[in-house]
Structure 1
Amino acid sequence: MGKQIISNQEELRERVYKFYKENKSKGKAHTFHHFSSELVPKTTIYRIIRRSESGKSAKRKQGSGRVAKKIDKKNFKKLLKLFNHSDTISLRQAGRKFDCHHSNISKTLKKHTSIRLRKKQKIPKRSETQQDMAKVKCGRLYRKFKDKKWILDDESYFTLSHGTIGGNNTFYSNNVNETPPSIKYSQKSKYEQKILCWICFSPSGISQPYFRESGLAINQEIYLTECIKKKLVPFIKKYHSEEDYIFWPDLASSHYAKTVIDFLQQKQICFVDKKDNPANVPECRPIEDFWSMLKGLVYKNNYQANSLEQLVERIKLCIKKLDKNVVQELSNSVKKRLDKVRREGVIEKN
């Protein structure tokens, strides 16, 4: 005879049966508290105890489970219509609607359709005017600067720890009760320290970063002195000696302050005029992807900094480690991204 396979549920029932029988005089609560340390749900424990008292065997009787229900052709069409391009239905809701287990719905979709659960992508909330003007202005930028190298700048915040990075909010364990607190819990301060990092990049390279503590905003004076004069100008001199570039800042008020514009014009730095600059088009600015790539490297293996100074050094080190070919590919994609919005419009209009 082949070896009998005992399921986890049967093994649990047998243990509860045995423990309850040996400690019946101490009451049901004693059994509950004993197995609750294994994170077994309260309802499960008491259900097993009732099963024991009714004289039923701990082993599952062959054929005692729920009868499998197949979805016929008529209901299959309804299922497709219910799930395809929808965000208002769940597997459990569908199971109740079709009077079957939700796992049957999942298997049907997986085996007989190409419908899969997808994660929504975040996009900025744009007004109708912004959506319409994005296409017009991206077309203008594409035609006017299609032969130029794009220099983009941006700022982003870095915290001491970053649990939202993929992989940093999970852990593996065969017994949660034996897992050290430092592994199974992610500490979060109500007001966690963070640092603001400014940087610019182009197909030719990456500038020196500028760091500023949280709470100290980058106003026009700081932007002009620390970012433009000390970082952008040397970057242009190093990588763009000829006028083969166009500088594209975002529409932050400090970026188009009169003092900043006067300085850029005085130094003959080619930049996108404010009237030509489309609002809220991160899909055209690959520096947004650059931040994701950099943060993934900074917080790799669930890295946590002990101080802002340590975090700054970590960011500098990771910038040096970035794959230059990937960064170049990102910055070279501006033209292609502009062209797509120019032809198709922003995502909401597709």
Structure 2
Amino acid sequence: PTLLNNDVELIMDDEKYFTLTNESVSTNRGFYTSDPSTTPSEVKFKRTQKYPAKILVRMAISGKGISKPFFAKQTQAINERTHLKKYIEAGLMPFLNSYHNIEKVLFWPDLTSSHYAASARPFETIWQILEEKVYGGDWEAKTIDQLKRRIQQQLKRIDMKPVQAMFSSIRKQLRKIADKGPFAACSF
């Protein structure tokens, strides 16, 4: 079976960190003034957390949908057992078994060098759509659990038709990359 002959079912997975607020650049959290003497002391001396609270979201996608997401509060690295039990067994395998022919699955994990050919990998677009939904209207979470609930709600609101359309074009993009190199799939 080969990807280009449509006799495999392509599955991709990826992960992304979400913070309580959508401030991806830490220097943007500051306060700027032309006259520090007029700045109130509660602003001047406000404590900020060096490393903001965040949650890891990991999930898989295919032309048939999105798997149940795996969430991990980021206090320490995810170990092998947690990854196996909570992501692979609880999220990925039920998704594969419910919607795919296991014999024909081609799994493209996040570990590959596909980041060098982002146009052949729709996950970045999906993360962007989800991020816009989660933080839309300047929404901010007070707790990690609140953020997790919001992500789960917004995942359900993603229109799957564009996701499936992006996914269906991957085979053509990969053919271009195989024939002409990674820049062939880019739109300049």
Aligned partner (choices 128, 139, 162) of residue 303 of structure 1: 139
Question: The residue matched to 1:243 in structure 2 has which SS?
Answer: helix
Shift of residue 279 of structure 1?
5.4
Q: Which amino acid aligns with 2:71?
A: F
- Give the C-alpha shift of residue 211 in structure 1: 0.5
Q: What displacement does 1:233 show?
A: 0.9
SS in 1 for 2:12: strand
1:327 aligns with 2:167: no
Q: 1:320 to 1:282 in 2, by over 3 A?
A: farther
Q: Compute the displacement of 1:222 (Å).
A: 2.2
In structure 2, C-alpha distance between the alignment counterparts of 1:160 and 1:282, rounded to whole Å: 30
Deviation at 1:308, TM superposition (A): 0.5
With over 3 angstroms needed to count, the CA separation of the structure-2 counterparts of 1:204 and 1:339, relative to structure 1, is: same
Identify unmatched segments of 5+ residues in structure 2.
30-46
Say which SS state the counterpart of residue 299 (structure 1) adopts. helix
2:99 is matched with which residue: 239, 242, 245? Answer: 239
Residues 131-210 of structure 1 mapped to structure 2, 5 A cutoff: 144-146=2-4, 147=6, 148-164=8-24, 189-210=49-70
CA distance in 2, matches of 1:152, 1:192: 28
TM-score, normalised by the number of residues in structure 1: 0.42
Q: Please name the residue that 1:281 is paired with.
A: 116
- CA-to-aligned-CA distance 1:27-72 (integer Å, 9 cap, x gap): xxxxxxxxxxxxxxxxxxxxxxxxxxxxxxxxxxxxxxxxxxxxxx
Does the CA contact (< 8 Å) of 1:286 and 1:333 recur in 2?
no
The code of the aligned residue for 2:183 comes to: I
SS at 1:281's partner residue? helix
Who is 2:183 aligned against?
347
Q: Which amino acid aligns with 2:83?
A: Y
Change in Cα spacing, 1:213 to 1:164, as seen in structure 2 (3 Å) is closer
**Larger RCO (CA under 8 A, 6+ residues apart):** 2
The amino acid across from 1:195 in the alignment is I
Which protein is bigger by CA-based radius of gyration? 1
Q: Contact 1:197–1:210 (CA<8 Å) still a contact in 2?
A: yes
Q: Residue in 2 aligned with 1:101?
A: none
Query: Which among 304, 318, 331 is matched to residue 154 of structure 2?
Result: 318
C-alpha deviation, 1:158, in angstroms: 0.2
Give the count of matched residue pairs: 162
What is the one-letter code of the residue matched to 1:233? Answer: M
Task: Evaluate the alpha carbon distance shift between residue 218 and residue 300 of structure 1 in structure 2; reply closer, same or farther with a 3 A threshold.
Answer: same
- Which letter does structure 2 place at the counterpart of 1:237? N
Aligned 8 A contact 2:117 2:182 in 1:
no
Whole-Å separation in 2 of the counterparts to 1:209 and 1:282: 24
User: % of aligned pairs identical?
Assistant: 35
TM-score relative to the length of structure 2: 0.76
Match of 1:45 in 2: none
Aligned-partner residue type, residue 232 of structure 1? L
Q: Deviations over 1:92-111 (max 9, x none)?
A: xxxxxxxxxxxxxxxxxxxx
Question: Which residue of structure 1 lines up, in the alignment, with residue 40 of structure 2?
Answer: none
Q: Please say if residues 149 and 332 of structure 1, whose CA atoms lie closer than 8 Å, have aligned partners that are also in contact.
A: no
Cα distance between partner residues in 1 of 2:86 and 2:100: 20
Shift of 1:153: 0.7
Distance 1:296 1:239, change over 3 A: same
Question: Against the structure 1 CA distance between its residues 200 and 344, is the aligned structure 2 distance closer, same or farther, given a 3 Å change threshold?
Answer: same
CA distance in 1, matches of 2:20, 2:53: 6
Query: How far apart, CA to CA, are the structure 1 residues paired with 2:156 and 2:97?
Result: 20
